[in-house]
Amino acid sequence: MKTKVGSHSVEFYDSPETLPIIRYQKFNKFLMIDNEVGSSISDYDKRMQKAIKFLNSDLKPEALKELENNRQNVFNCLSEYTPRNKALVVLVKSIDGKKYHGIDSETLKEVELDLDRIGFTKKMMDEVIDEVKKK
């Protein structure tokens, strides 16, 4: 799947099934973290609301789990770590013809910075991830 960002071209793996095995594992890992813990202040608010509902329903173990996940979400936000961003950069094959082969933390950071530099937006990220997840 190719996407244009202004005059730039970004090529993504278009399906989880086309990802090399280790890339697939990383993609799933980051999505699982994002789904379980969250990546944003909005996720924080949702988790707090769930924890309050659990407490009001006397479901203490469930409330504790929500609060633990929320604690990790806050840590991620303060550390500027976004699992959803990481899932996206694992999907990148190339930007403007420059191929990315590694999936180590340094390469993932480089891809993330390159996407930011060319103006890739959160909306675009959500669209790409949602499209890939559908397949």
Chain centroid, CA 64 distance in Å: 24
- Distances in Å between the alpha carbon of 30 and those of 12, 54, 62, 97? 16, 26, 23, 25
- 81, 84, 85, 89: CA torsion to nearest 10: 130
Query: What ranges make up the beta strands (E) of 1-135?
Result: 2-5, 8-12, 92-95, 98-99
Asked if pLDDT for residue 55 goes beyond 90, the answer is yes
- The whole-number pLDDT of residue 118 equals 96
Whether residues 94 and 32 share a domain: the answer is: yes
93 SS3 class: strand
Same domain, 98 and 117: yes
Instruction: Give the percent of the chain with pLDDT over 70.
Output: 100
Each residue of 58-89: pLDDT tens digit? 999 999 999 998 898 898 888 888 899 999 99
More confident residue, 97 or 80: 97
Q: How many domains does the chain divide into?
A: 2
Range of the domain at 15: 1-37+82-135
